[in-house]
Structure 1
């Protein structure tokens, strides 16, 4: 199996917080009867795994839905719902057999027809799914447990696509649910994953409950990241919506919640010194990549020469410091589009920070002082990076209009081709580690906010998919990065870790930037 999207080295960094007063759950059996209470990066708003790239929806979906294949901690793909597959000698026909006994949360069996309906709904909405369709994919159910995918051209990365860890997920749902949704979002949230969504307990703005699905049939092998036997040890996971990160950190320290996905940077040292909280300090693909996504469809950055100036105005160390990210949680510089300390890391094509050269380069373009509209998310760590870039841009001769709003408004604004020029954002390293999943490379020439388009990258992406081995893909990834530095679909502002924190009564928690709650046990602390 390909390991090109691989190598995760989540490392447990420290221990932390305040002792929980009086052990109310002194016996192990009582501890396991308690719900696991968590604070994730945000409230789950979109529950449909096929329609969004939002990481919070992915976290929800991995617990409620299941997939045909899953990725292990080294990036290798293994059967999950699938029992086996066969490939014809010419590579044009794949035949998949489901494990027996799989059931949905409404107690109906999972069938091959459900898989065909789910994949057919997902594929047009996802960059990798569209590549699969471009290979001529035709999906048919052969019987209750077997379905086939016929192709016009070989597609060597079939399993990597069906087991991809990136949203939108090729999650399996009942065919009737997919059909009822049409072009909209699903209304019945029914999966076959290890937890089921308790719709009657969802309180918008407050909490959501995921209940252990006793009809789930785990695989026999041990769990490994997103693959293997997902054995649930707790009766339910309660997702709490808490107003701000500082309140969440205090709730973690007081034992009111068990896990917090993103600790505030300024409170990490205090929590790390505490006795009953542990802090994850994650490296490699468990880090995040910050980007300035530019609008190539309209405004000043429709001119590639103007947007290329931005490379010379970004000092990553300066940006990360402005965001309050300490030296132990950041890389001072990373020129790799596909993440540093990762399989496809390279500095090929990189442009040096040089504001004087940037100012001179801007003067040689056709830029006439038109406003650059920067969309800023109020209170986010990327806001500081954006403000610093705005300052550097003004010094170089740009006219900059910073507009501050919430993330939901940014999502709405960025969907229009006019009215904005750039916004700062950051993404999980697992998502950015391959040309096929990197948001701003994989969506090249697609209908995706920013609308960057390079014919060279289009051809190279096709070569990447068709390549027969990882060594060939790595060479092609170098060429893709070199083209990206020339065409500037985005500009990186740094690679950094966002540590999670959890009470030390949690046992078996996967050390990952992905919140994973199967296998977790609650101790007595």
Structure 2
């Protein structure tokens, strides 16, 4: 028995301290408000940007784009192609697992790509080149083609919705026309179905089984190391309410700040604004329904080229001059690789010209039903167009709803004529990704079709160099002006805002919360 000494008492106390359980580390939670509520969680089912934002956290991709626009391996460890370009072999990284613990296999990847490809414009081009996906073994995916397709990696790593996310085999077997209801991915966050409160919030949690790539994160590529425990997506449809919550510290991040509150937000303590240009800008569009009157008539559609005043719309929306391109007549984003002036003279705002053009059509007063998202900048754009439509002689019926209802309504061929929307610039920089051109003659809301465009899109995807693709982009744009699938109401930046306690937040118009620390 040891004598009771001061030293022994100290040693005993130290041993007891080591034996006692340490207090649990406080969980780190980020509360964020994104552009809207995520209501469609199937990553292949819709082109809605909010579904893509949700999916990049929960699912993963074989390849991904970096900040320079280059395509990098993501789930893929290494790859090779045959000399003739007709056979590609992709070897998966070790340690990839789905959220239910099952390993990710090449068969999961093959079936996921087969489900996704028919629903995507670039995927359909890949299929047209004879693409077949097969698993050579558990870790090796093989792509065979009937003819060379130079943009294989661009398709597999594209960030444009719907993105080719990878699902478990059992979910990938569900037809693409049917939404999956079990949300299991292999991405850096898991979706807590039990904590989902539609209309209020959803919770994503760090996936402990996720193995990030070793290189630093770079836009959508690289190592997605999660350094928080929980990501709570709060639903706040009113941007002003969300901005007030941001200033009060009740939320940590708001994807779209209201333009009229920017001066106040810039002065607020503890808040950083993120306003980016280039590919991180947005393109606003009025999407027309070609399947129902009055815009089933191409002559009536073309009247709209005289009814959209981009500078007036951007001013009404409240976009500060430093965040706006005052006039952009290019379908493929101004100041981008494929910016085009082909047929741009068609875009000529004039109420008088619109009146004269409409008088020459067979328009008989059918109402133009406009779907408007309440409280959004899209609604402001719609209100200006509605005013101009009436001034030119159209009958207009404005219907106000939330974005989820617009998504449901636009899926029907009847009951609407036009809706206003804005999209990430990265989605609109090329004929192959521009929603309303790439989907020409496809089963896609708006149902615009000109048989001259799909062959040109195929030629674009097979073009040998940039010069050839630019020439084709001009040809496609000239036809698109004639077809009028959509009319742009402007190119602009929407700043995001976040609390200064967030460190290493990726600087992007895409909301991304890997690598963020608090």
What's 2:373 paired with?
377
Higher relative contact order (CA 8 A, sep 6+): 1
Instruction: Write the deviation string for residues 158-180 of structure 1: whole angstroms up to 9, x where unpaired.
Output: 11111110111111121123235
Q: TM-score, normalised by structure 2?
A: 0.92
2:77 and 2:248 map into 1 onto residues whose CA distance is 45
| Corresponding residue number in structure 2 for 1:153 | 147
Secondary structure in 1 aligned to 2:295?
Answer: helix
- Following TM superposition, the consecutive aligned residue runs of length 4 or more in structure 1 with deviations greater than 3 angstroms are 29-33, 180-183
Partner of 1:434: 430
2:421 is the counterpart of 1:425? yes
Secondary structure of the corresponding residue to residue 177 of structure 1:
helix
SS at match of 1:400: strand
What is the CA-CA distance between 1:260 and the residue it aligns to?
0.7
Following superposition, the deviation at residue 461 of structure 1 comes to: 0.5
Which of these residues, 77, 84, 100, is aligned with residue 94 of structure 2? 100
Q: Which of 74, 91, 95 matches 2:85?
A: 91
Q: Provide, for residues 416-463 of structure 1, a one-character-per-residue CA deviation record: whole Å limited to 9, x for no partner.
A: 222222222211111111111111001001111111111221221011
- Higher gyration radius (CA): 2
**Match of residue 267 from structure 2:** 273
Structure 2 residue aligned with 1:75, among 43, 56, 69?
69
Q: Deviations over 1:152-210 (max 9, x none)?
A: 12111111111110111111121123235775222322111111112222222222221
Q: Which moved more, 1:411-420 or 1:82-91?
A: 411-420
Matching residue within 258, 261, 266 for 2:255: 261
Q: How many Å separate the matches in 2 of 1:94 and 1:232?
A: 32
**How far does residue 408 in structure 1 lie from its aligned partner after superposition?**
2.8
Instruction: With the length of structure 1 as denominator, give the TM-score of the two structures.
Output: 0.90
- For residue 465 of structure 2, the aligned residue among 462, 469, 477 is 469
Q: Distance in 1 between the 2:369 and 2:200 partners?
A: 34
Give the CA deviation at 1:410: 2.4
Select the residue among 142, 161, 171 that pairs with 2:136.
Answer: 142
Secondary structure of the residue that 2:80 maps to in structure 1? strand
Deviation per residue, 1:394-426 (Å, 9 max, x gap) = 222222222333323322322222222222221
Mapped to 2, the partners of 1:484 and 1:211 lie a distance apart of 44
Q: Kindly indicate whether residue 517 of structure 2 is the aligned counterpart of residue 521 of structure 1.
A: yes
Query: For residues 189-200 of structure 1, what are the structure 2 equivalents within 5 Å?
Result: 189-200=183-194
Distance 1:463 1:316 in 2: 32
Alignment check: 8 A CA contact 2:36 2:403 kept: no
State the alpha-carbon separation in 2 of the partners of residues 157 and 181 from structure 1: 26
Q: Is residue 252–residue 258 contact of structure 1 (8 Å, CA) maintained in 2? A: yes
Residue 181 of structure 2 corresponds to which residue in structure 1?
A: 187
Q: Secondary structure at the match of 2:221?
A: coil
1:483 aligns with 2:479: yes
Find the counterpart in structure 2 of residue 5 from structure 1.
none
Relative to structure 2, which stretch is displaced further, 381-390 or 172-181? Answer: 172-181
Aligned to 1:118: 112
Residue 46 of structure 2 is matched in structure 1 by 52
Equivalent residue, structure 2, for 1:405 = 401
The 3-state SS of whatever aligns with 2:276 is strand
Report the Cα offset of residue 230 of structure 1: 1.0
Question: Which whole-Å CA distance do the structure 2 matches of 1:32 and 1:166 have between them?
Answer: 37
- How many residues align? The count is 494
Q: RMSD over aligned Cα, in angstroms?
A: 1.8
- Going from structure 1 to structure 2, the CA distance change for 1:202 and 1:412 (only over 3 Å counts) comes to closer
